Amino acid sequence: MLGPDEFKRILGCFASGVTVVTAWDADGHPTGLTASAFTSVSLSPPLVLVCVAHTAQSYPALRASERFAVNILGSHQEALSQRFAAPATGDGGDKFQGIKHTPGALGLPMLEGALAHLECSTVHAYPGGDHTIFVGQVEAARCQPGPGAEPLLYFRGQYGRLHPPGGVR
């Protein structure tokens, strides 16, 4: 049987985008986590899914909430991804401290500077080993247009950027 470390190494060969999934906790504080296990599911209705580890600090809030947001990160947001990927500190470690965010159409915390935002109503939560697979119906979305807007990528345990063909911009 394939062990967890080898499985993780092999899956690292698949490049993915990087997101930060956000919600409100039971006390009304914003909470979030970095997730690369995110994908679209359906165009009609518009559905997406995100897989969240049961050990994630934000898992209880996502499990209890009826809504979540997906912030698709740009290439300039590596530090933000690292911050939301880090485990919480012993003092509760507010990952949002000093992070600019605004309420979206559904009131969910949207990270400023993200390439796109999706606000979702949770329609299913499926068990998936040590993760829960949250399926959300997209209720509101926006994309930050603009030249030079590139996604943050994750490949073989490292962050990466897109490079146009021929290396010319």
CATH number for the domain that contains residue 134: 2.30.110.10
DSSP state of 130: T
Higher-confidence residue of 166 and 156: namely 156
Neighbours of 76 (CB within 10 A): 14
Residue 164 located in a structural domain: no
In this prediction, residues 14-35 reach a mean pLDDT of 94
Residue 142 located in a structural domain: yes
Residue 74 located in a structural domain: yes
- From CA 36, how far away is CA 40, in angstroms rounded? 12
- From CA 84, how far away is CA 109, in angstroms rounded? 14
Torsion over CA of 69, 134, 91 and 8, rounded to 10 degrees? -110
In the structure encoding, which two tokens stand for residue 46, read together?
Answer: 């518009």
Residue 101 located in a structural domain: no
**pLDDT band of 166, cuts 50, 70, 90:** low
Provide the whole-model pTM: 0.90
Mean pLDDT value across the chain: 90
In this prediction, residues 86-102 reach a mean pLDDT of 78
User: H/E element holding 140?
Assistant: strand 131-143
Residue 107 located in a structural domain: no
CB 108 within 8 A of CB 25: no
Residue 140 located in a structural domain: yes
Domain that holds residue 38: 16-94+117-146
In this prediction, residues 27-43 reach a mean pLDDT of 95
Residue 32 located in a structural domain: yes
Total number of domains in the chain: 1
What pLDDT is attached to residue 54? 96
Nearest-5° Cα angle at 127, 39 to 32: 55
pLDDT above 90 for 34: yes
Residue 162 located in a structural domain: no
- Strands (DSSP E) contained in 15-100 are 16-17, 19-24, 30-35, 38-42, 47-53, 67-72
- From CA 69, how far away is CA 62, in angstroms rounded? 10
Residue showing tokens 């049961």 = 54
